[in-house]
Amino acid sequence: MQEYVPTSVAQHGSALARTTPDVEQVRDGVWAIPLPLPHPGGVESTLCYSIADADGGVHLIDPGWDTPDNLVRLEAALAVAGFGLGDVRSVTASHFHPDHLGLAARLRATHDIPVAMHRAEHEALSRPLYPDAEATIERWGVPEDRLDEVHSVALPRSQPSGLAADVVLDDGDLLPIAGRVVRVVATPGHTAGSICLHDETDGLFFSGDHVLPIINPGIGLGGFLPGDDPLGAALDSYDRMLAYDDAEVCPGHGYRFRGLAVRAGQIADRHRRRTAEIAAIAKAEPDATVWQIAEQVTWTDGWENLAPFMRLSALSQTEMHLEHLRRGTLDG
């Protein structure tokens, strides 16, 4: 098992020299393109990856948030690699969150580029993230003086996005990139249909939001159905990473690194610690609401410092951990 080691331009030398402040060559024909998110705080950009094929085309992974500025940045970055938007043959999204899938709809509409994602993500796009937001907020026990805050982020997610996939992917499928073997690795957890992509040709592993170098990704953030166990699915997906430990990881945010299995284990252990913490709070206060438990959990930025969307995610994940604990009790 490899040690977790961040990689950098300096470590790779001139072969991976940075060509512009916004584009980095990862391998021959593979480029990393940071595309900023429109809101301040937290993650600043999504790393979109372009992969050239043997037929003169190029393929995109996670084209970032849909803003006019990002479209300009993407076009300029492709030009550095010797391509235009008209050369893009496919877009693959690691999952359906707008910081990864966003620009795909615009690229499809303007250049007829097919969009691919996992079957579970495709199906989830026809459902709202919070099917009954009002009932969910009531179930969580959100205090009256915080209702407006939670409503402001939950209600916009109570309707389906209207997007869909042109190409539906399953575990083990190959992307249609001539001259390369890029295989789909299903990693449910962050969302129900999250995938990673293993470039067997160049030893790269595009990890989306499944495994990130610094950030500990949230889990259960869309696509799961009632009765599913997102946490259990995520832990199984982290275990799968050992098989790809030799690859260099190209994440959706942050920087490239090696030591995939170690980093995946760190994230899994963090989720297990959170489950134990939530279990202790729930045992001490058996009548506590999801909100009352969540506000006692040790969140990275502190409960009161969480932005509204992150607090929504914290509430959702607290409930998910509680359900995982109940499932374990029933199974036991």
Neighbouring C-beta atoms of residue 178, cutoff 10 Å: 12
* Higher per-residue pLDDT: 126 or 159: 126
Contacts of 267 (CB under 8 A, 6+ apart): 211, 216, 217, 238
Contacts (Cβ under 8 Å, ≥6 apart) of 12: none
Average pLDDT of span 133-154: 89
Task: Give the separation between CA 137 and CA 292, rounded to whole angstroms.
Answer: 13
Provide the pLDDT confidence category of residue 227 given band limits of 50, 70 and 90: confident
Give the model's pLDDT for residue 329.
61
Residue 118 one-letter amino acid: H
User: Distance (Å, rounded) from C-alpha 87 to C-alpha 113?
Assistant: 10
Backbone angles phi, psi at 262, to 5 degrees: -65, -45
d(CA 122, CA 125): 5
pLDDT above 90: percentage of residues in the chain? 70
Burial class of residue 28 in the structure, from the number of CB atoms within 10 Å of its CB (0-12 exposed, 13-18 middle, 19+ buried): exposed
pLDDT (tens digit, 9 = 90+) per residue, 266-310? Answer: 999 999 999 999 999 999 999 999 999 999 999 988 999 998 888
Whether the pLDDT of residue 160 is over 60: the answer is: no
Residues 178-226 pLDDT 10s: 999 999 999 999 999 999 999 999 999 999 999 999 989 988 888 888 8
CA distance 73 to 37: 12
Dihedral through CA 100, CA 90, CA 110, CA 119, nearest 10? -60
Residue 5 pLDDT grade (very low, low, confident, very high; cuts 50, 70, 90): confident
Q: Are the beta carbons of 53 and 89 closer than 8 angstroms?
A: yes
Q: What is the DSSP letter of 305?
A: G
Question: Domain extents for the chain?
Answer: 5-125+162-270, 130-160+285-332
Quickly count helices (H) and strands (E) in the chain: 10, 14
Burial (Cβ within 10 Å: 0-12, 13-18, ≥19) of residue 87: middle
Percent of the chain with pLDDT over 70: 90
Q: How far apart are CA 286 and CA 216, in angstroms?
A: 28
CATH number for the domain running over 5-125+162-270: 3.60.15.10
pLDDT above 90 (res 26): yes
Helix or strand holding residue 135 (H, E): helix 133-140
Distance of alpha carbon 48 from alpha carbon 269, whole angstroms? 28
Using an 8 Å Cβ cutoff, are 30 and 248 in contact?
no
pLDDT of 327 above 80: yes
